[in-house]
Every structure is written in C-alpha cells, then in structure tokens.
Chains A and B, each alone.
Chain A
Amino acid sequence: MIPEIGQLSLCFAAALALGGTVMGFLGNALHNNKIQEAVHSQVLGQFVFVLVAFLALVWSFLADDFTVGYVAGHSNTILPWQYKVSAVWGGHEGSFLLWILIMTLWMLSVVLLRDRYPRYFISNVLSTLSLLNLGFICFSLFTSNPFDRLIPMTPVEGSDLNPQLQDFGLIVHPPLLYMGYVGLSVPFAFAIAGLLQNRIDSSWARLLKPWTAVSWSFLTLGILLGSWWAYYELGWGGWWFWDPVENASFMPWLAATALLHSTAVMEKRGAFKHWTVLLAVTCFSLSLLGAFIVRSGVLTSVHSFAVDPERGAYILFYLTLVVGSSLALFAFRASESPAAIRYSFLSREFFMQLNNVVLVSSMVIILWGTLAPIGYEVINGNLYSIGKPFFDFFFVPLMLFLAIAIGFVPVLRWKKTSFDHLRSVLKVLLPTTLVMAFLIAYLIDFRSSTVVLCCGLGCWIIVNHGSDALARFRDNGLFSRSYFGMSLAHIGFAISIIGVACTTVFSVEEDVRMEPGDTQIIGPLKVSFVGVSDVPGPNYIAKRGIFDVERDGEYLHRLMPEKRTYSGGKVMTEAGIEAGLWADTYISMGEPLTDDAWAVRLHYKPLVRWIWFGGILMALGGIFSALGLGSKNASRGKESSGLTGVAQEGTSN
C-alpha cells in the first residue's frame, strides 16, 4: 500500500510540474498576476508530493518491505536502521528520487525568497525549473521506478547493501553532492529567464550570485566528503583518483567556480555578459553529464551503477534537449554585441579573465580525458583507459598558475592598477611571503623543490589576503561578508595546495607481510603488530588487527584496522587511522597469508588533513559570500537600487 502511495505521489508531482511549466509561461504571456501566483503553489505541491514519495520509500526500507524490488536489492533485516535509511540513496533508483527531492527543495527556496525578485522573472525561473523537474520525474517513473514490486517472486530476505556504503560518509556524501549538482539548475534557470526577458545585466548577476555561491559550496563539501570517504574507506589511502565519476563531480565544480568569479565581475563592472550566461548553461549541462556518466555505465568506474542503455539514452536525450534549446535561445538573444568595457592588464578584471580561462581549460582537459576513451571506442573499437599522469600533467601547472593569479587579487584594483601602487604593496608582500615560505620549508623539508614552490605559493596567497584584510579592518573597522568569504575561500585554496604538495611528495607507503611480534619502520614511526582478534558487529564479523605505533622509542597510540566479512559474504577493509594536524598514520589489513601472517599496508601521510581543511574553508567562504549579498551591510543602498531597477523593468516588460 505505502509504495503505491509513493508512486501515485510521484505521478501527482509530475502533473504539477507540467502545470507549473505551462502556467508560469502562460501567466507571463497573458500578464495575469493570478496565474503567475498559482505557479508558487504548484511548486509547493511538487515539493510535498515528492517528499511523500521519498518518505514512502524510506518507510518501505524501515519496514523491510521486500516486495519492493529496490528494497530487496539494497537492504536486509539485520542492517542497522541508519543504514536502512541511507540505503534509500544507495542505488540508482532511490538516489535519483533523492535528486528529485533536492530539486524540489531548491525550487521551494526560490519560491520562499520570491519577494526579492521581479514577478515576471520569478515566473520564468519557476517554469524553467518545473520543466526540468518534469523531465527528472518522468525519468524516474519510466526508466527507474524505485517502487516496482517483485510479485509474486518476493524474496524472504533482501540482499545486502554494499558494505562500502554502510558508513557515515555515504549517509551524507550523496545528499550534499546532489545539493550542489541540482543547485546549479537555479543559475541555469536564471540564465534562461534572463534570456527570455532579454535582461542580462549587472543586476541580474547580483541576483544570480548567491545561488551560484550556495550550490558551489554544497558541491565543494560533497566532493570533499567523497574524497575523505575514499581515503578512509577504500583502504588504500588515496584521496583522489581521477576516476570518471570523480571527474563527473569535479567538472561542474570547476565551471561553477568560474561562474562565481565571472558573476562577480559582471556585478561590479558589467563585463563578461555572454560568457557568464554560457557558463551558467555549461554548469548545469555538466551536472547532467555527470548524471549520465554515473548512471549509464558507459565508462569504467568504481562507482558506476549497473549498466543500463535505456537510462543512458534517456539522460543523453534530456541533456541534448537542455543544451540544444538553451544554446539556441542564447544564439537568438545574444546576437547584439555588448558594449566593450575597458580594463588594463593590471586590473582585477583581467585576472578574473585569467582565472576563468584557467578553470575552463582545466575543465575541458578533464572532460577530454574522461570522454576520450568513449570516442576511441566508437572510432576504432579499441578499449582504452586514460591514466592519472595525463590529468596530473595538465592540472598541476594550471593550478599553480592559478595560485599565482589568486595572490594578486587583493593587490589589484578594478579597471586599472597603477605601477606605483603595485610596487609599494609588493615591496612589503613579496619579502614577507619569501620569509614565510622559507620558514615553512625549513620546518618541513627542504629537499623537494615542488614542496617549496607550493608552500611559497600558498604563503603568497595567505600573506596577500591576510595583509589586505588587516588593512581594511584598520581603515573601516569591518568588512563586508562577501569580501570575507572571498578571502576565506582563497586562503582555503592555499591550504589545500600546501596539503596536496606535502602529502604527494612526503607520503611513505609500505605493503608488507607481518606476523604478530614483527615491527616495521614507516617514515619516522615504528609500527609493531600485536595480533588479531575476532570482533562481531551487527551484521558482520571482523578480524581486528592490533598495531602499536611508536616514535623515537616513545609509545604514541594503538591502531585497530579491521577486515570485515558481511552477512552477504562481502569482504571489506576498515582502515585504522590516527588523524593529526601534521600527519596521519594509516594502517589497513590486506589478506591473511597464513594462520597468523597478514599482508598489511602502512601509510605515513603528512598534512593530508590540510587538503580537506582547505576545502571546508572554501565552502564556508562560498556561504559567507552568498550571505553577504543579502545582508544589511554597507553596500545595501547600492544593492536595493539595483534590485528595484530590475523590478521596474520587469513589470514594464
């Protein structure tokens, strides 16, 4: 009964999505206020019905209703309850329902904040979003219905949820990532609405920016959690693999980062108009492409869902429709060339342009590296894979170049920066940076030029942003939240760079055979293997290894990695990790070789936490810059005049 309610709700939601699409555009065409407002309740309805459908699926999991095929495939009676809930998004069908729920959540937030936007504009935005949502719901209903029943062949017990998904990281990773992916549909809808009304200007950019910033922050957190999860759960201590599915989330992130910066320029200076619109379309298209890559199984990846050509074809068709129609609209509207806005090489605009070029090139290279194997297969039928070195070869220099440019941001002014100003500022900043980099390099290690270079660039960013923030604080007593957010995100980037460089260069990894009583030197540490004991878990039995870690003869801590055998017979490695600000000690168990001997993997990973810590700062920075725009700070007067400007234009439209 409950699953049928879920399915029916999803059908209602589809009907309301269709209604919302038609009425939003119709209301604008007829200039009818009542119809425009009806769209708001239709969006609310979509949210409520999708929520009911989602809860129905959650209930089916909690009640172990194995007549539902999806539940039988991803859960069983002894699974702990929190994993039964997260199993809802542990497979393709359910995770797509979560995707739709999040889509309606974003639509709902647009409706709740509607007073900030012109009426016609918001109708167009909601229509566009409803149309996108309709496509998503149809995809779910026709190709991947989570409520399909297994009658009469109902299994008595469900199969196990993949043990690697039975983990806290996987409870929170997909929702956050989807918040980011789907959130990019809002800037996309803003771009479409702006094009429809022919209103792409700096006030439009001001409306767009907080939505971009918030979804970018979620995307950042989602990617971060994915990387952290891979680090501790996959048992081999890597934090990024250039796996097609990771790339699928990283490409929209790069494009969204570029969008965030180009909207900033557009907001302040009115430049980069067409470019910003194109980026908004690109961001959302890339998140759809990501969905295609993950859900069609065209690419070999560790986290692809099972292969299904029908689903792949549907998403590809949807993607083509979205990209094709928005580009057609763009071409139709953007024929007039915008007034040239002049700026010199030594200006923020030019550096933002550099930023965009670097980010978009990185994105294109990753796109190329991800899709080229498919291309080759189609052309000559051979199967290829592209290795990590390809990505590193391009990505590392591009990011280092970006780091240099980021450091210049606080030094430069809009429009034009005079040489004298530059000289007077750099006279202080450059030596400070060098001294700091020297100090850090001295403390950590001198031998690697990569590390010294990256630490230097990190310091360059931190010193420049820090000193500028201090100067502003001295002059004004406080600074706007969006400025604070920008500095925070850039400093976060610097911290991540330092972390990546040190981890990559200084990590020590040993795969060894150990028997109880054996010791092994790893970096500055001495690890001794005490023994293995059997530990029962709720739905698994673990072999728990006990390892004592010493440094210079002094006992530090005990690590207990596990090898778990789950009820379904799957085996999983649970690494033992001692996290530290300066280094992680990481031990994971391989396979038993004889009665007591084990294959053991030992890692010593300096500064690996900095990578994620920097990422968290970036995400926080994004949130702050989004808040800053809606806040009552010094820039309020300017902002509200811009908004009413749009509002008047909008109503006279």
Chain B
Amino acid sequence: MNRKRKNRLAMACFLLIGVGASLVVLFGALDQNLNMFYPPKDVVSGVAPLETNIRAGGMVEEGSLARDEDSLELSFVLSDRAGSDFRVYFTGILPDLFREGQGILVEGELQQDGSFLAHEVLAKHDENYMPPELMSLAEEKQPKNTGG
C-alpha cells in the first residue's frame, strides 16, 4: 500500500470512529432527555412509569384547585373527562393561562400513591390553542359529548 492510500484509509477510519462516537453520545443524551407524554388513562392504569420524568396532560377539573394556607403549595385534578383522573401537586406560580376547565400539560414524576409531583406546569399562549399532545384527547371526547 502506498502512502497516499494509507493516509486515506487512516482518514476514513478516523471519520468512522468520530461519527460513530458522536452518534452514540447523541442517542445517549437523547434517551436521557426524552420526556414521554401520557394521557390521564395511562397515568391511572399504571402504564406510565413511576418516579421518572414524564409529561402528562388533561383538563383541569372544575373546583379542584386547592392551595396551602401559608406557602405556594397547591394541587389540582387533571382528567380526560372520560373517567380517568389524578391529582397533581405543584409548588410555585401557575402560568397566566392556567384556568380550571382548560387543557394543560405538566412535567414531573408520578409517585407510588398515584399522585403526580409536577415541577413544571405548562399552558399555552393562545387560549384557543390546544397542545398537539392533547388534541387526541379532545377528539376522543367529542363524540361522547354529542352522543350524551
């Protein structure tokens, strides 16, 4: 093998290793930071993993918002209006668009006792806007409403 070829081979190996290594790191990092979304049905039925960072969403049940007297601790119930609901605990300030009866997303961990400890509550800019994650929920509930 002449030198030029050798150089080229070394370069190709180097490139392959480099690209391979970066892909491994990329997918590793992606895996660690992927937060999967679960609708209330999955949260309640135990499909959603416990004590792992996940996203969940649903409609805030009317009249379910409860606050602690002296701190910013609060809780509310998220439901799919089809029989599945769970209580979310959160400490902090809710977004301006948080309203009872509206669809929201929460990010946090599901606890052993079936409650959800949120570290973030997300509501969207536009109040007519439905997060894509919740679209299927809204669609599912539509026929039930008209039928009932």
Q: Which residues of A contact B (CB under 8 A)?
A: 162, 164, 235-236, 297-300, 302-304, 306-307, 361, 365, 368-369, 372, 376, 382-387, 389-390, 393-394, 511-513, 570-573, 590-591, 593, 599, 601
Does B41 sit at the interface, judged by CB under 8 A? no
Q: Is the interface of B mostly helix, strand, loop or mixed?
A: mixed
Q: Is the CB of A601 within 8 A of B30?
A: no
A-B interface, 7 closest residue pairs, ranked by CB to CB distance from nearest: A590-B93, A383-B37, A390-B33, A387-B33, A571-B96, A511-B92, A384-B34
Cβ contacts A to B, 12 pairs, < 8 Å: A164-B125, A300-B133, A365-B26, A382-B36, A386-B33, A390-B30, A390-B33, A393-B33, A511-B72, A512-B72, A570-B127, A572-B96
Q: Is the CB of B133 within 8 A of A383?
A: yes
Q: Is the CB of B29 within 8 A of A590?
A: no
Q: Is the CB of B34 within 8 A of A590?
A: no
State in angstroms the CA–CA spacing of A570 and B92 once bound together: 21
Does B131 sit at the interface, judged by CB under 8 A? yes
Known A361-B22, A511-B93, A593-B67; further 19 A-B contacts with Cβ < 8 A: A164-B125, A236-B93, A302-B124, A368-B30, A383-B55, A383-B133, A384-B35, A385-B34, A389-B33, A390-B29, A390-B32, A390-B33, A511-B92, A513-B71, A571-B96, A590-B72, A591-B94, A599-B72, A599-B93
Which residues on B sit within 8 Å (CB–CB) of A386?
30, 33-35
Q: Is the CB of B35 within 8 A of A387?
A: yes
Which residues on A sit within 8 Å (CB–CB) of B22?
361
* Chain B residues bordering chain A, tally (CB within 8 A): 35
Q: Is the CB of B37 within 8 A of A384?
A: yes
Q: Which residues of B contact A (CB under 8 A)?
A: 22, 26, 29-30, 32-37, 53, 55, 67, 70-72, 91-94, 96-97, 105, 107, 124-133, 135
Which residues on A sit within 8 Å (CB–CB) of B133?
300, 383
Q: Is the CB of A384 within 8 A of B96?
A: no
The residue in chain B whose Cβ has the minimal distance to the Cβ of A387 is B33
Which residues on B sit within 8 Å (CB–CB) of A591?
93-94
A365-B26, A511-B93 known; A300-B132 Cβ under 8 A? yes
Which residues on A sit within 8 Å (CB–CB) of B55?
383, 385
Write the nearest CB–CB distance from A244 to chain B, whole angstroms: 11
Which residues on A sit within 8 Å (CB–CB) of B37?
382-385
Which of A372, A382, A593 has its CB near the most chain B CB atoms (within 10 A)? A593
Which residues on A sit within 8 Å (CB–CB) of B33?
386-387, 389-390, 393
B128's partner among A164, A306, A513 (CB-CB below 8 A) is A306
